[in-house]
Homo-oligomer: A and B are copies of this chain.
Amino acid sequence: MYSLHFTAESASNGMVERDFTVGGVPGIPGVPGVLWSPASDAADHAPLILMAHGGGNHKKHPAMSGRAQRLVAGCGFHVAVLDAPGHGDRPRTAHDDAEIAELFRARAAGEPEGPIVVRYNDHLAELAVPEYRAALDALQELPEIGTDGPVGFWGINMGTAIGIPFVAVEPRITAVVFGQHWPDTLAEKARQITIPIEFDLQWDDEHISREAGLALFDAFASKEKSLHVNSGKHKELPRFEADSAVRFFARHFGRPVVSPA
């Protein structure tokens, strides 16, 4: 019932890109996703990294495809991303429209965005967590992935709001990269997470205070955790943190990074 349905395939830069839907039933469309894999067969049963995109973006946003390029071409990993509810190729509900309008209103009025983002992302995560679990089930049914390779998760911003509740209930995930969210509703679930983590914060984030960001990092029960703080505002996460996250997964999953990263 969870099998993937591939809907398109292309290849470039040593990377095969396959669009899919997962979990659809007659009359109800599945969740659209993308699976990036190495062009060579050497990637059989290679590690899989699930990623979740940021708010307002979609599964093939350059922040996703750029990270995938590093993981697939650089490490020989598989990478999969789903469109979050209300994002990308998925329909927006009236609730989505109302929350987004409220966010834009607060932003224009110079009011804090945090309370709205926290509330809306919580709602989206409730929908997205079972979708990610279903996608992982289905991806592991593919012969080139299987159930014996390690699985990681990488999501910043809204990707962290989805990723923390997902990873807290998903024992197949064994290493994660998170960052840039508030502790309000996530810290409690972060306390259930014990796997190695790399966590990104922006020191001059205009939305997330230092105290809030550090509190969420502190909440993780992981024995092995690393925090990377950089100067700059919310959207100025340096590109070299993407390379660092790739090395984090390569280190934990025992795969050398073959291209410069």
A residues near B, CB below 8 A? 203, 214, 217-218, 222-231, 238, 240, 244, 247, 251, 256-257, 260
Contacts and interface: CB of A to CB of B under 8 A. Distances in A.
Question: Top 7 nearest A-B pairs by Cβ distance?
Answer: A227-B229, A225-B231, A226-B230, A228-B228, A224-B231, A256-B260, A223-B231
A257 B261 CA distance: 9
Nearest to A261: B247
Contacts of A214: 214
A84 to B, nearest CB: 29
Tell me which of A222, A229, A240 has the highest count of chain B C-beta atoms within 10 A of its own C-beta.
A229
Nearest to A225: B231
A225 B203 contact: yes
A240 B238 CA distance: 19
Nearest to A217: B229
A225 B224 CA distance: 23
Nearest to A201: B227
Nearest to A226: B230
B228 A227 contact: yes
16 contacts: A203-B218, A203-B225, A203-B227, A217-B229, A222-B231, A223-B231, A225-B230, A226-B228, A226-B231, A227-B229, A228-B228, A228-B229, A229-B229, A240-B247, A244-B244, A257-B260
A30 B1 CA distance: 77
Contacts of A227: 203, 227-230
A46 to B, nearest CB: 19
Nearest to A248: B240
Contacts of A224: 231
Given A225-B231, A226-B229, 12 more contacts: A203-B218, A203-B225, A222-B231, A223-B231, A225-B230, A226-B228, A226-B238, A227-B230, A228-B228, A229-B229, A256-B260, A257-B260
Contacts of A229: 217, 226-229
A77 B164 CA distance: 42
